[in-house]
Amino acid sequence: MTRTRMLLSAACAALLATGAQADENANMVIDGTEMKIRADAPAHMENVDEIMSGWVFRSVETQALQLDDFDNPAFVFVDQAIDLWDKVDGSEGKACSSCHEDVEDFAGLRTKLPRVDDGQLVSMENLVNECRTERMGAEPWKWSGGQMTAMTALIGLQSRGMPVDVAIDGDAAPFWEKGKELYYTRVGQLDMSCSNCHEDNYGVMIRADHLSQGQINGFPTYRLKNAKLNSTHGRFKGCMKNIRAEPFKEGGDEFKALELYLASRGSGLAVETPSVRN
Ligand code: HEC
Ligand code: HEC
């Protein structure tokens, strides 16, 4: 363990000790799943010993909001998605519920995405839009628009508490390699890579905010800052803009590859959708 890493671990320990809430919940076990922290990080994360959900790095107040479904503001949008589920749209006169009996049938899906279908890397947004355009004759939803993030929150919620478990071998391997490369490539006017913040410096303060490991197990996430659900790719875009880089396109190949790679870095963390962040 390097000296910086030791200092950072100390910072995380201090962070965990900031409130009783954090102490109690940090290692909460649900159905045998270590909810917030996994002690044995995947082998490809060279400089990380423990993987931690972004929840661990939030204030006690924000943590509490996520833990209570009645207080969690994301559930307003989950309710909207429940209405959308039954709403007829498109030339075929169908709603999601015309074909999918129960949204609960999607339990486990979130843990496996993105995945390769017929040689293409697909995210949940692709699957939803494929149904809309190919099966309903409806317009696709915008990748990070309100309807899409509401629906991916509702579908993701069905996997809450289940461990993230994306495939990274076989057909997925080249996409994963691409995502890994993007993660470690310095970009933008500030010449930084994702790893410079989320691997080398998690636990430290940056502009009055605690840097997390940049995990995606809680997405889409409700942000107090913009009072809406935020997609995974929307968050990547924000981080790229912050380092003054030209962001990749939401739903594009680069962000999907990055999504797969990040999911694998959080392998074993429980799905926390819909999470709450500042
Ligand atoms: C200059 C530092 C910096 C860089 C570089 C950076 N980020 Fe971030 N990122 C942040 C900050 C600050 C936050 C908000 C606090 C947190 O969760 O770390 C954040 C949050 C995130 C989150 C949300 C985590 C959660 O639990 O809600 C993800 C995902 C993420 N970043 C991914 C990335 C990716 C992918 C890259 C590279 C394209 C990247 N970041 C580059 C600073 C950075
Ligand atoms: C005309 C029937 C039909 C409609 C309407 C429909 N779907 Fe589908 N959907 C399917 C079929 C068929 C599949 C592929 C087989 C499967 O996995 O169930 C599928 C697959 C999916 C998947 C991927 C499931 C998996 O395990 O890979 C998701 C997510 C999904 N649909 C969401 C939706 C949503 C959300 C709506 C409404 C916006 C919707 N679907 C509307 C028929 C439909």
Q: The tokens of 49 are what? A: 């010993």
Q: For residue 277, which phi and psi values (nearest 5 degrees)? A: -135, 165
For residue 198, the ligand closest to its alpha carbon is 1
Q: Are residues 212 and 270 in the same domain?
A: yes
pLDDT at 29: 53
Asked if 85 and 230 count as a contact pair (C-beta separation under 8 A), the reply is: no
Q: Are residues 167 and 129 in the same domain?
A: no
Ligand 2 centroid to 35 CA: how many Å?
29
pLDDT digits (tens, 9 = 90+) for 240-277: 999 999 999 999 999 999 999 999 999 999 999 999 99
Q: What amino acid positions are annotated as catalytic residues?
A: 239
Chain centroid to CA 124:
11
Q: Residue 135: give its domain's CATH number.
A: 1.10.760.10
Query: Ligand 1 pocket check: which of 51, 219, 239 to mutate, most ligand atoms within 8 Å of Cβ?
Result: 239
Ligand 1 centroid to 142 CA: how many Å?
22
Q: Are residues 93 and 213 in the same domain?
A: no
Ligand 2 shell residues, CB under 6 Å: 94, 96, 98-100, 106, 109, 127-128, 131-132, 135-136, 151, 155
pLDDT at 211: 95
Q: Are residues 123 and 169 in the same domain?
A: no
pLDDT at 201: 92
- How far, in Å, CA of 66 to CA of 16, rounded? 16
Query: Ligand 2 pocket check: which of 131, 141, 273 to mutate, most ligand atoms within 8 Å of Cβ?
Result: 131
pLDDT digits (tens, 9 = 90+) for 72-121: 999 999 999 999 999 999 999 999 999 999 999 999 999 999 999 999 99
Q: Are residues 151 and 182 in the same domain?
A: no
DSSP state of 211: -
Q: Are residues 99 and 181 in the same domain?
A: no
| pLDDT-based confidence at residue 21 (cuts at 50, 70, 90) | very low
Of 157, 178, 197, which residue sits at a domain end?
157
Rounded average pLDDT over 137-142:
98
pLDDT at 4: 40
pLDDT at 38: 73
Of 102, 129, 157, which residue sits at a domain end?
157
DSSP state of 132: I
Q: Are residues 146 and 11 in the same domain?
A: no
Number of domains the chain contains: 2
| pLDDT-based confidence at residue 205 (cuts at 50, 70, 90) | confident
For residue 92, the ligand closest to its alpha carbon is 2
Q: Are residues 119 and 148 in the same domain?
A: yes
Of 157, 180, 200, which residue sits at a domain end?
157
CB environment 164-200: b (16+ within 10 A), e (fewer): bebbbeeebeebbebbbebbeeebbeeebbbbebbbb
Q: Which amino acid, residue 10?
A: A
Domain that holds residue 80: 75-157
pLDDT at 206: 83
Ligand 1 shell residues, CB under 6 Å: 54, 57, 192, 194, 196-198, 206, 209, 211-212, 214-216, 218, 221, 235-236, 239-240, 242-243, 258, 277
Query: Ligand 1 pocket check: which of 197, 223, 233 to mutate, most ligand atoms within 8 Å of Cβ?
Result: 197
From the list 273, 269, 272, 275, the residue with the least C-alpha distance to 33 is 269
Q: Are residues 186 and 264 in the same domain?
A: yes
Q: Which pTM value belongs to this model?
A: 0.91
Beta-bridge mates of residue 229: 222
Average pLDDT, the chain: 88
CA angle centred on 155, ends 23 and 241, rounded to 5°: 70
Q: Are residues 216 and 150 in the same domain?
A: no
Q: The tokens of 9 are what? A: 């671990």
Q: Are residues 200 and 222 in the same domain?
A: yes
Q: The tokens of 226 are what? A: 């913009």
Q: Are residues 153 and 168 in the same domain?
A: no
pLDDT digits (tens, 9 = 90+) for 45-68: 767 878 999 999 999 999 999 999
| pLDDT-based confidence at residue 7 (cuts at 50, 70, 90) | very low
pLDDT at 41: 76
